[in-house]
Structure 1
Amino acid sequence: MSKFLIVGLGNIGAEYAHTRHNIGFDVVEAFVAKHGGAFRTDRLAEVAEVRWKGKIFICIKPTTYMNLSGKAFRYWMDKEKVPLENTLTIVDELALPLSKIRIRPGGSDGGHNGLRDIQATVATDKYPKLRFGIGNNYPKGMQIDFVLGKWFPEDVPLVNRKIEKCVEVIESFATTGIERTMNQYNKHEFV
């Protein structure tokens, strides 16, 4: 039975809940909820195991804070013996508009501290990532406030549709592979 590690990046604590930077948590929570799983607190992460279509998904929300995400990623990848190409890290992406998501088999950290730490821990940038576009609609010098801020009320319906679509992307990644998933979802424009 093939096994996958689904890693949603975010920060723990109520003040970070449902902020742009925590979209990885929100996507993983939606995936686990859809498949009837439940999170438990475990080593370095909140963890849920989901079984679907003959596959096992180990879903984690690291409790290490964003800048140490690699520690939880590495621990659960090794513990569950998941090959690096069967991991999928879900992350917020400033360089993509809110209307887009992008899945790739590798690529740079793009200045994202969570990805930077994972890359340093596994010594490669060749691991699959699902980037959730958050746009860059903020005044100069306000990037941190924007990233750590809550969604604008008018964006919430679109964000919710994208979260649902990201759940499909995770399913597609595990059942049809990354190439077909990229072809199907990377061109999609959310409105």
Structure 2
Amino acid sequence: MFLAVGLGNPGTRFERTRHNAGFRVVDILAERLGVPWKSEDRFSWARGVVGDKTLYLLKPLTFMNLSGEGLLAFFAHHGCAFEELIVIHDELDFPPGVVRIKIGGGVAGHRGLQSIVEALGREDFVRVRVGIGKPERRELVVDHVLGVPEKEESIILEAAEKRAAEAVLCIVEWGVQRAMNVFNAREENGQKEAC
């Protein structure tokens, strides 16, 4: 079993913000797999099948900075015997539209990731990162991540979110190493190779 956790903030006010890229990716996955969302107190979840593997999708509803609490609440209800944990999140350090996969590493100031690391007590999970770009000045970061992109940037981000969903499916079906080879190389070289 695999668990893909999309990071974001609940509520219509945040739906189109850059910070909610992770939520939008798992929404794309639920739609592709044809599975409905079920809501619980601190999270929404769905379950689908990719090939012969089960993929759970999760949206913590605890707000970004407390994402780990939503993940732990999910584990309390559904157990935590997952072969692979995949966390999908926005990434300030990449230009809009870039999608990269990595295993482990630091959190680079991302409070949702920090909350997941603190809840799990480990960093060695898979991350699918969706670039949202960085503002010129540090004091503009909060407004940037909670802002809604203009139309041109929005089109770029939507395409990246679809690629991020493809990356998750590739991880589940073919493994993280193959997915990294395909998607990270695609981003660097403009390749169109699929898993």
TM-score, length basis structure 2: 0.90
Q: Tell me which amino acid in the other structure corresponds to 2:20.
A: N
Moved more, 155-164 or 123-132: 155-164
Work out the CA distance in 2 between the residues paired with 1:105 and 1:140: 26
Instruction: Give the Å deviation of 1:142.
Output: 1.2
CA displacement 1:153-191 (0-9 Å, x = unmatched): 111222121111111101110011111111111133398
**Unaligned stretches of 5+ in structure 2?**
191-195
Instruction: Give the Å deviation of 1:99.
Output: 3.6
Is residue 14 of structure 2 the alignment partner of residue 16 of structure 1? yes
Match of 2:78 in 1: 80
Contact 2:99 2:163 survives alignment (8 Å): no
Work out the CA distance in 1 between the residues paired with 2:41 and 2:140: 34
> How many residue pairs get matched?
189
Change (3 A) 1:123 1:105: same
SS in 1 for 2:35: coil
Match of 2:57 in 1: 59
CA displacement 1:94-152 (0-9 Å, x = unmatched): 01111411111211111000100111111111111111111114555211111100012
**Candidates 31, 34, 37, aligned match of 2:32:** 34
Work out the percentage of aligned pairs sharing the same amino acid.
Answer: 31
Work out the CA distance in 2 between the residues paired with 1:121 and 1:26: 23
Contact 2:104 2:127 survives alignment (8 Å): yes
CA RMSD of aligned residues (A): 1.8
Q: Tell me which amino acid in the other structure corresponds to 2:154.
A: V
Contact 1:95 1:136 survives alignment (8 Å): yes
SS in 2 for 1:95: coil
Instruction: Give the Å deviation of 1:37.
Output: 0.8
Match of 1:167 in 2: 165
Match of 2:184 in 1: 186
Contact 1:138 1:146 survives alignment (8 Å): no
Q: Tell me which amino acid in the other structure corresponds to 1:147.
A: V
Is residue 103 of structure 2 the alignment partner of residue 112 of structure 1? no
Moved more, 24-33 or 48-57: 48-57
